Amino acid sequence: MEVIVFFGCLVLGFSLICGLIYMAELVLIYITKRCDEAMQGRAAKAQDIAQHSVTVEVD
């Protein structure tokens, strides 16, 4: 009986650890995706500003 409880706890602990690792991976993927979207948005804004800016040369 003790062996069954031991292995049951072992399996439960392993599944909890795997679940936490999986959740951490999902959070990292979400953060990376949001950062990439923000960088693309900033690059698009910078390109839009560069296209509409006027350059003045001074002698």
Q: What confidence tens digit (pLDDT) does each residue in 22-45 have?
A: 999 999 999 999 999 999 999 999
Distance between CA 40 and CA 33 in Å, rounded? 11
Q: 């936490």: which residue's tokens?
A: 20
List, for residues 6-15, the tens digit of each pLDDT value. Answer: 999 999 999 9
- Give the pLDDT score at 23: 98
- Give the pLDDT score at 59: 65
Residue 44 tokens read as 């698009």
The residue extents of the domains of the chain are: 1-48
Residue 57 tokens read as 């040369």
